[in-house]
């Protein structure tokens, strides 16, 4: 079969020859046995390219063998599709090749598509499964990346829509995964091949343009390289200097965002150079050499040796400008740093002389795996996990420190909330404000690179759902979601119990007096596990509280009970939490006449009884509405949002007069919107008040201002 394979295919002989260069005869034979099993399992299966399927797992294994990966990893790569596509099971593999190989194969095996309603749902679940396996053994992801690399290299035989879908998925997930593991050689290979299939015409044009630019400026570029080489020699620094191929995909992203000229020239595109020396001291010495030879560009220097990137990348980076206005980007590394940057966690396997440095890469990887495991433990759904991980993988890093000097690596755009959760989940849950570089700051402030951050906490504080609007890191977002779900679940139980108790009072009954048998029979009839499930079902509207009350009182569900009792009002304060939400369409406040209806996601939605939204959404019928009223509460600590429309003369200072008046009345303004013409302005104010009486006092004070013509509460009954 191998004789008929295309000449571009890697054969089993090629693979065995490669592993034989660094493995024992016993390990080579184990790999040969895994090949024989895979050959048998995939016998007769042909890929879309027309070649025998077996050439795909051989190619995947060859990529990993080229990294000098161990025997179990190479065996698992050969067998990686056996469980998913053939009749062989995990137990079959474990019996012949051991539990480690079986676990690796199972880790990269996608979940069955029949379990899910959509392809995206299946992909998210399979990704979560793979990442869970990776936290136990990182080699799972290496196999998956090698698998994707061969798939993306052979996309030409696929339909255009499949090529685009797979290429985009590669750029969204696999490329940042390779980067996060520090494997930049693999990352660039994945990125370039995916780009060529996602945008074939654009990638071809850019590659040709870059090649022309290199050719046209070859002599000048070589002179620059020779100048730097001589500069190193003059300072007795043993080093190599060479040009580095520009990443065409990154160039495309810059151009598409308008951050680079579309016409490429030596004045718009930098010459990228690598300087490799023997040790860290020589890195800084080489930096001095290049800065003496060419003028440094202000603000371009970055020291990733003193503060490595989150995945362990180390280098000195600087930009230079020649007298001929050629921009040069120089990256200076030791030989060891360079190999680790290209091959990440596998560098010490491919280059055994780096064994002493492998601990660094492993340390950075372990830190990330611990974070992934923590996110796994608290994330609700596979889709949420995928969303959070993609956000975390994509963003570039900034470096922020605690007041004690402990450095934290966070994604660019992070906030004090992200910083707090990076310290500890409890610190995040209890944070109330921050001090950035000695200045008080809000929790949604964006952190700058190099900032020093102090987090202030309060034991009575709790996360806010609004934090999801600005939190960036997967750790923070998953922790906030977890808290919301736990809190909402608790509040739904309390709300449902409260509603049921009010319904029972309509029949002169109390929940405590209901026989246990009636409760158990009701739970059985409604197919609910326990009382908390019953209360939650009532709170989200899945069960009618009145019908549940009937069933609890009369186990046979008879309708002979007295129905002349009036419905008991459900009393609320409006500050119950996530399960009771005052709606923004009408902003109900204490003293308003209110109604409510249950929502499965948000709990009890409270409206003013004249709110047009109720009628528009079909909830104006009495059967949908809860009888509800404000509890008699004399507390002055609670505040509620209310909306006012003001019609004013357009005069200088009128807005200032209004805001000053509100400030004197100790009224907090949440939002302002102004519209109108040269003569008249309509001003919308969203303010905080205690109740209806307080709002009337504010409205009367505003109405008394000379330039204020009218003050109307938004959605007021007299203004419909």
Average pLDDT over residues 2-17: 66
Residue pLDDT, tens place only, 493-519:
887 888 888 878 877 888 888 888 888
Q: DSSP secondary-structure letter at 111? A: P
Domain that holds residue 265: 205-350
Are 152 and 214 contained in the same domain?
Answer: no
Digit-coded pLDDT (tens) for 433-467 = 999 988 888 898 999 877 889 999 988 888 887 88
Residues 251 and 147 in one domain: no
Last residue of a domain, one of 350, 378, 407: 350
Res 636: pLDDT: 60
What is residue 4's predicted lDDT score, i.e. its pLDDT?
A: 35
Does residue 233 belong to any structural domain of this protein? yes
Exposure class string for 527-549: b at 16+ Cβ within 10 A, else e: ebeebbbbbbbbbbbebbbbebb
Side-chain-facing half-sphere of 335: CA atoms under 13 Å? 9
User: At 347, is the pLDDT very low, low, confident or very high (cuts 50, 70, 90)?
Assistant: confident
**Residue 263, both tokens:** 């016409």
Reply yes or no on whether the pLDDT at 259 is more than 70.
Answer: no
Structural domain total, the chain: 3
Taking the CB of residue 176, how many other CB atoms lie within 10 A of it? 20
If asked whether residues 195 and 215 sit together in one domain, one would say no
Tokens of 477: 């977002």
Average pLDDT over residues 192-205: 92
Average pLDDT of span 59-86 = 93
Last residue of a domain, one of 308, 330, 350: 350
Which stretch of 164-178, 435-449, 531-545, 678-692 has the lowest confidence by average pLDDT? 531-545
SS3 assignment, position 248: helix
Query: Are 33 and 153 members of one domain?
Result: yes
What is the spatial distance between Cα 713 and Cα 699, in angstroms, rounded to a whole number? 8
The whole-number pLDDT of residue 591 equals 84
Q: Is 686 within 8 Å of 589 (Cβ atoms)?
A: no
Under a CB-based contact definition with an 8 Å cutoff, are residues 559 and 567 in contact?
A: no
211 and 227, same domain (yes or no): yes
Q: Report the percent of the chain where pLDDT is more than 90.
A: 32
pTM of the predicted model as reported, rounded to 2 decimal places: 0.64
Tell me, yes or no, whether 497 lies in a domain. Answer: no
Helix (H, G, I), strand (E, B) or coil at 571: strand
Give the DSSP H or E segment for 224: helix 218-234
Nearest residue to 631 via CA among 691, 688, 713, 693: 691
Q: So which residues are the catalytic ones?
A: 84-85
Q: What does the block give as tokens for 65?
A: 């063998």
Q: In the predicted model, is pLDDT for residue 366 greater than 90?
A: no
Residue 460 lies in a domain: no
Which tens digits make up the pLDDT trace of 264-322? 777 778 899 999 999 999 999 999 999 999 999 888 898 988 878 767 788 999 999 99
- At 110-124, the pLDDT tens digits run 755 445 556 777 777
Q: Can you give the CATH number for the domain in which 692 is found? A: 3.30.70.260
357 belongs to a structural domain: no
Q: Which long-range contacts (CB under 8 A, 24 or more apart) does 9-13 make?
A: 9/51, 9/55, 9/58, 9/59, 10/55, 10/58, 10/59, 10/62, 11/55, 11/58, 12/39, 12/58
Spacing of C-alpha 115 from chain mean position? 24
């Amino acid at each position: 079969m191998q004789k008929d394979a295309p000449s571009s295919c890697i054969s089993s002989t090629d693979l065995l020859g490669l592993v034989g260069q660094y493995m024992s005869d016993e390990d080579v034979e184990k790999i040969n046995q895994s090949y024989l099993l895979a050959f048998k399992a995939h016998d007769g299966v042909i890929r879309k390219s027309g070649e025998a399927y077996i050439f795909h797992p051989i190619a995947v294994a060859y990529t990993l063998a080229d990294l000098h990966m161990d025997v179990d990893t190479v065996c698992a790569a050969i067998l990686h599709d056996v469980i998913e596509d053939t009749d062989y099971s995990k137990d079959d593999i474990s019996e012949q090749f051991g539990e480690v190989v079986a676990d690796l194969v199972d880790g990269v095996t996608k979940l069955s598509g029949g379990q899910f309603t959509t392809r995206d749902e299946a992909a998210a679940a399979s990704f979560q499964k793979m990442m869970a396996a990776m936290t136990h053994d990182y080699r799972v992801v290496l196999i998956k990346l090698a698998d994707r690399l061969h798939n993306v290299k052979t996309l030409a035989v696929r339909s255009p829509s499949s090529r685009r879908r797979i290429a985009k998925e590669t750029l969204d997930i696999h490329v940042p995964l390779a980067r996060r593991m520090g494997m930049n050689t693999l990352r660039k290979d994945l990125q370039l091949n995916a780009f060529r299939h996602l945008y074939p015409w654009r990638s071809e044009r850019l590659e040709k343009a870059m090649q022309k630019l290199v050719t046209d400026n070859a002599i000048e570029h070589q002179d620059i390289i020779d100048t730097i080489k001589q500069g190193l020699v003059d300072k007795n620094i043993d080093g190599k200097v060479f040009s580095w191929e520009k990443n065409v995909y990154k160039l495309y992203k810059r151009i598409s965002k308008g951050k680079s000229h579309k016409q490429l020239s030596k004045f718009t595109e930098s010459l990228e150079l690598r300087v490799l020396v023997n040790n860290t001291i020589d890195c800084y010495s080489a930096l001095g050499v290049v800065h003496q030879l060419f003028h440094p560009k202000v603000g371009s220097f970055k020291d990733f040796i003193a503060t490595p990137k989150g995945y362990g990348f180390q280098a000195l980076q600087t930009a230079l400008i020649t007298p001929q206005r050629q921009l040069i980007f120089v990256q200076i590394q030791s030989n060891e740093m360079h190999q680790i940057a290209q091959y990440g966690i596998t560098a010490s396997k491919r280059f055994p002389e780096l064994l002493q440095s492998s601990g660094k890469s492993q340390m950075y990887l372990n830190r990330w795996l611990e974070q992934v495991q923590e996110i796994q433990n608290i994330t609700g759904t596979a889709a949420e996990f995928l969303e959070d991980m993609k956000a975390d993988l994509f963003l570039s890093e900034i470096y922020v420190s605690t007041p004690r000097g402990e450095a934290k690596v966070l994604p660019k755009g992070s906030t004090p909330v992200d910083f707090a959760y990076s310290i500890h989940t409890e610190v995040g849950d209890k944070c109330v404000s921050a001090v950035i570089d000695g200045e008080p700051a809000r929790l949604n402030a964006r952190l700058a690179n190099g900032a020093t951050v102090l987090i202030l906490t309060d034991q009575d504080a709790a996360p806010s759902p609004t934090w999801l609007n600005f939190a960036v890191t997967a750790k923070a977002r998953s922790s906030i979601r977890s808290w919301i779900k736990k809190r909402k679940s608790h509040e739904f139980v309390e709300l449902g119990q409260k509603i049921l108790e009010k319904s029972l009072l309509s029949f002169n009954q109390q929940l405590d007096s209901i026989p246990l048998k009636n409760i158990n029979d009701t739970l059985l009839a409604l197919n609910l596990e326990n009382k908390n499930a019953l209360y939650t079902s009532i709170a989200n509207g899945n069960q009618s509280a009145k019908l549940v009350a009937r069933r609890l009182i009369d186990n046979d569900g008879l309708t002979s009970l007295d129905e002349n009792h009036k419905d008991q009002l459900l009393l609320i304060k409006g500050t119950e939490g996530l399960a009771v939400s005052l709606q923004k369409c009408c902003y109900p406040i204490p003293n308003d006449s209110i109604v409510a209806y249950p929502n499965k996601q948000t709990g009890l939605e409270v409206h003013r009884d004249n709110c047009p939204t109720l009628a528009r959404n079909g909830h104006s019928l009495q059967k949908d509405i809860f009888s509800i009223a404000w509890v008699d509460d004399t507390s002055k600590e609670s505040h509620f949002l209310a909306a006012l429309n003001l019609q004013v003369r357009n005069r200088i200072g009128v807005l200032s007069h209004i805001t000053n008046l509100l400030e004197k009345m100790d009224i907090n303004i949440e939002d302002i919107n102004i519209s109108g013409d040269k003569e008249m302005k309509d001003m919308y104010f969203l303010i905080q008040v205690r109740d209806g009486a307080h709002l009337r006092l504010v409205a009367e004070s505003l109405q008394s201002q000379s330039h204020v013509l009218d003050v109307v509460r938004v959605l007021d009954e007299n203004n419909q």
